[in-house]
Amino acid sequence: MVNVGKYLELAEALSEKITSGELAPGDQLPTVAELAKQFGVAPNTASRAVQVLKERGLLSGRIGGKTWVRVPPPQTVRRNTRYQAEKDLVLKSEAERRGTGVSEMDTGMALASAHRDTLTVEVVKCPPDIAEVLGIEPGASVLRRVGVRHPPQGACEVKGVSYIPDYIAKQNPDLFDAGNEPWPGGSQHQLHMLGIEVGRIEDRVTASQATEEEAVLQDIPPSVPVIRVRKITYSTTGRAVEVNDLPFPADRTTLIFETPLTEWDT
């Protein structure tokens, strides 16, 4: 049986150790059995205290595995005005394109400071919901790229999935080589190399709870939902040419939408 008063007391005691720095980010927590013995409580009480701190975002780890003090995740501030900045970057030199990208715009973290990036590139059958957006037949071939950025210091990872119709992507074989990432200038420059100028970008924003994979990969506390951005890129002819699915944990994300308004003539 869990003692409500005891597990909250234990949670506060452990929280104090974390905020004081006695337990540092990345430090492994004693096992539930060890905590129960150390603080003189029942194992169920110790287990509930640990769960409380996971829900507060102070501890990380899954049931049955190791638990550690959570490494504070990088904060993401995403503005829709970034897209014009990305388009302006397309025509810059490669040196300039290499120096500024999604990482710098969203988190302020220089690309070079990422621990490592991994990219999986493959041609797959297009999921029906993506096919509807791209205006192609369900099951048609698309180039799917799954990118994962691994920040330093054991912090959470960042993942995104991109879909481009295969008949468009195959015009540039370099897009199929994961070794070419990170691409200087990002996706707008990739499309530019295919002869496509981006005319507009639409972000469709929804929210839901994290999947088990997302919770582990992105270190998402049990109580935190995921903001899901489906970014649809259109050419100047109005054709949808790329779809990106981007999950953003709500505890570390700010979405800012700025809409310039034309002044009245006076």
Chain segment 122-162, per-residue pLDDT in tens: 999 999 999 999 999 999 999 999 988 776 655 567 788 99
Instruction: Write down the pLDDT at residue 262.
Output: 85
Residues 57 and 121 occupy one common structural domain? no
Instruction: Write down the pLDDT at residue 107.
Output: 46
Domain assignment of residue 183, given as a range? 76-256
Residues 142 and 92 occupy one common structural domain? yes
Residues 59 and 103 occupy one common structural domain? no
Could you tell me if residue 262 is inside a domain?
Answer: no
Render pLDDT for 4-20 as a digit per residue (tens, 0 to 9). 578 898 989 999 999 99
Helical axes 32-39 vs 43-55, angle rounded to 10°: 110
- Mean of the per-residue pLDDT values for the chain? 87
> At 210, is the pLDDT very low, low, confident or very high (cuts 50, 70, 90)?
very high
Residues 100 and 193 occupy one common structural domain? yes
Could you tell me if residue 162 is inside a domain?
Answer: yes
| Domain C-terminal end among 23, 39, 69 | 69
Instruction: Write down the pLDDT at residue 156.
Output: 66
Instruction: Write down the pLDDT at residue 4.
Output: 58
Query: HSE on the CB side for 40, CA within 13 Å?
Result: 0
| Domain C-terminal end among 37, 53, 69 | 69
Q: Is the pLDDT of residue 175 over 60?
A: yes
Could you tell me if residue 245 is inside a domain?
Answer: yes
| Domain C-terminal end among 26, 52, 69 | 69
**Residue 253, token pair as written in the block:** 């994300």
The whole model's pTM is what? Answer: 0.81
Residues 102 and 146 occupy one common structural domain? yes
Residues 113 and 25 occupy one common structural domain? no
* Structural domain count, the chain: 2
Burial class (CB in 10 A: 0-12, 13-18, 19+), 20: exposed
Higher pLDDT pick, 74 / 166: 166
Q: How far is residue 2's CA from residue 81's CA, in Å, rounded to a whole number? A: 51
Q: How far is residue 5's CA from residue 114's CA, in Å, rounded to a whole number? A: 42
Q: What is the CATH classification number for the domain harbouring 58?
A: 1.10.10.10
Could you tell me if residue 263 is inside a domain?
Answer: no
Residues 212 and 142 occupy one common structural domain? yes
